Amino acid sequence: MACNGAIALRFEFVMFSRRMLWPALAGLPVLIILLGLGTWQAQRLAWKTDLLARIAAAEAAAPAPFTDSPVPYAKLEAVGRFDHAREALLGVEIRANRMGARLIVPFLRDSSPPLLVDRGWVPVDGLAGLPRPEGVQRITGYIRFGEAAGRFAAQDDVAGRRFYHFDPVAIGAALGLPGTAPYALVLLGPAGSLPEPAQTLPRPRNNHLGYAITWYGLALSLIGVFVAFAWRLRKLPHAARD
């Protein structure tokens, strides 16, 4: 009797394993993908956290000298002269019910290509009274690289010096400054003045923790579903399984 019981249990186990083989083979690649995505997002989280810490340190430190191979997310200092006669407006931005844009001004440097400078937000109906510093200026800001125009981007008004997507080389050429650097310097400064500059360095969004939790959670859910399926199959009578 004991021998018959052992044989029955062994047969039961073999049949159960066979029934679970295909679900296991189907679920294993999905589980590997979910765990891989979760691990990738965890690695991105560590990288992004370190980047944000470096941005905060750069923001608190003195600006680094500007070079013609600038790095993003750094506070930089450049020396030159504004060419106010070629200033232009970029984009459309409404603040406090006033239509405005970014004021773009060429910045001329000795022995270096012209550099476009984003002096900040200005109301389009108040350009005449803006301060326009003359002579050699020492300015602080961060790099903004050019962007490709979207499919539905507005058409630039070259004659009126109104631009709606940021292509520094094309804008420089339109302003009569060929050879303009392929990036701009966005000014940093306090709020409350016009043009109104940026107050902080830009920071990329850090959503990787939520993504990692999502992928790992889906992997855990898949394991739970598989275990529940196996438990239910194990408890079913032979006739119901077949």
How far is the C-alpha of 179 from the C-alpha of 68, rounded, in Å? 13
* pLDDT reported for residue 9: 54
* pLDDT reported for residue 82: 97
Distance of CA 96 to the CA centre of its chain: 27
Mean pLDDT of 216-224: 93
Q: What is the pLDDT of residues 21-51, one digit of tens each?
A: 777 787 889 999 999 999 999 999 999 999 9
Q: What's the mean per-residue pLDDT of the chain?
A: 87
In the chain, the percentage of residues whose pLDDT exceeds 90 is: 62
User: In Å, what is the CA distance from 65 to each residue of 52, 76, 78, 140?
Assistant: 21, 6, 7, 9
**What does the H/E/C string look like for 98-149?**
EEEEEEEEEEECCCCCCEEEEEEEEECCCCCCCCCCCCCEEEEEEEEECCCC
How far is the C-alpha of 233 from the C-alpha of 242, rounded, in Å? 11
Cα-Cα-Cα-Cα dihedral sign, residues 218, 221, 223, 229: negative
Q: What is the pLDDT of residues 104-115, one digit of tens each?
A: 999 999 888 999
* pLDDT reported for residue 237: 55
Q: How confident is the model at residue 235 (pLDDT cuts 50, 70, 90)?
A: low
In the chain, the percentage of residues whose pLDDT exceeds 70 is: 88
Q: What is the pLDDT of residues 42-95, one digit of tens each?
A: 999 999 999 999 999 999 999 999 988 888 899 999 999 999 999 999 999 999
Q: What is the pLDDT of residues 123-137, one digit of tens each?
A: 998 888 899 999 999
Q: Which burial class, exposed, middle or buried, applies to 40 when counting CB atoms under 10 A from its CB (0-12, 13-18, 19+)?
A: middle
* pLDDT reported for residue 147: 84
Domain spans in the chain, listed from the N-terminal domain onward: 33-66+205-242, 76-187
